[in-house]
Amino acid sequence: TSPATLPAQTLEANPTLKLLLDLFKHLDGAIARIQTNQLSSLPPTDDSAKQIWQFELPVRHENGFDLFHVKIARDGQRGAANQSGWQLILHMNIDPLGPMRIRLHLVGESLSTTIWSENPDTSKLVSNHLDRLRIGFETAGLEVKKLESFQGAARNEEQIPGEHSLLNEQA
């Protein structure tokens, strides 16, 4: 008998079995996401396409786990010293802050950071702490070029371009 065909009475009578089945479902989903991230992080076959790495980082808290979605890419843009940069985009949704997206762009020692918060209270909280974040970056030896915060969802054009994606939507 597979777990999908177990009678409902069996699951209700055995809470441990129900927890195990829930764990297996979550594990199966996590493995599928890891495989998808690995496939989309394969080196591009086209030399002009940029390499993109992406992964999920589980962060534990008292009520369980949250997943942080991380995407890193080498940037083709050149800075003043003819250096290529790096871009990191972090998506997270933590209670009670709500959905947030952070974009970091590093060229040499120069850093630009943009933070989007969908929750208005979170946006206000982030804005009130930007000076503290700037001091932290500068203490780490980084020159802060830009540090800004917006309320609302991030615009699509701010994302790392998906030149190398698993699905080509063009015919």
Co-location of 28 and 57 in the same domain: no
Residue 112 lies in a domain: yes
Strands (E), the chain: 52-61, 64-78, 84-94, 98-107, 110-117, 143-151
pLDDT tens by residue, 102-154:
999 999 999 999 999 999 999 999 999 999 999 999 999 999 999 999 999 87
Q: What is the mean pLDDT of the chain?
A: 80
Q: pTM value?
A: 0.67
Q: Report which of 62, 44, 61, 64 is spatially closest to residue 53, judged by C-alpha positions.
A: 44
Do 92 and 112 lie in one domain? The reply is yes
At residue 25, φ and ψ (nearest 5 deg) are -65, -45
Q: What is the residue range of 141's domain? A: 46-154
128 and 72 together in one domain: yes
Calpha distance 99→134 (Å, rounded): 22
Task: Note whether 65 and 147 are same-domain residues.
Answer: yes
- Cβ contact 4:134 at 8 Å: no
Does residue 64 lie within any of the structural domains? yes
Angle at 22 between CA 16 and CA 23, to 5 degrees: 90
**Which of the four pLDDT bands, split at 50, 70 and 90, describes residue 161?**
very low
- Does 84 reside within a domain? yes
Same-domain pairing of 60 and 9: no
How many domains are contained in the chain? 2
Task: Give a yes or no: residue 75 inside a domain.
Answer: yes
| 115 in the same domain as 67 | yes
Contacts of residue 71, Cβ cutoff 8 Å, sequence gap at least 6:
52, 53, 54, 88, 89, 90, 160
Residue 161 lies inside a defined structural domain of this protein: no
Q: What is the pLDDT of residue 123?
A: 96
In a domain, 26, yes or no: yes
Residues 111 and 36 occupy one common structural domain: no
Asked if residues 115 and 100 have their Cβ atoms less than 8 Å apart, the reply is yes
Which alpha helices (DSSP H) does 41-156 contain, by range? 120-128, 130-139
Phi and psi at 102, nearest 5°, equal -120, 130
Q: Is residue 74 part of a domain?
A: yes
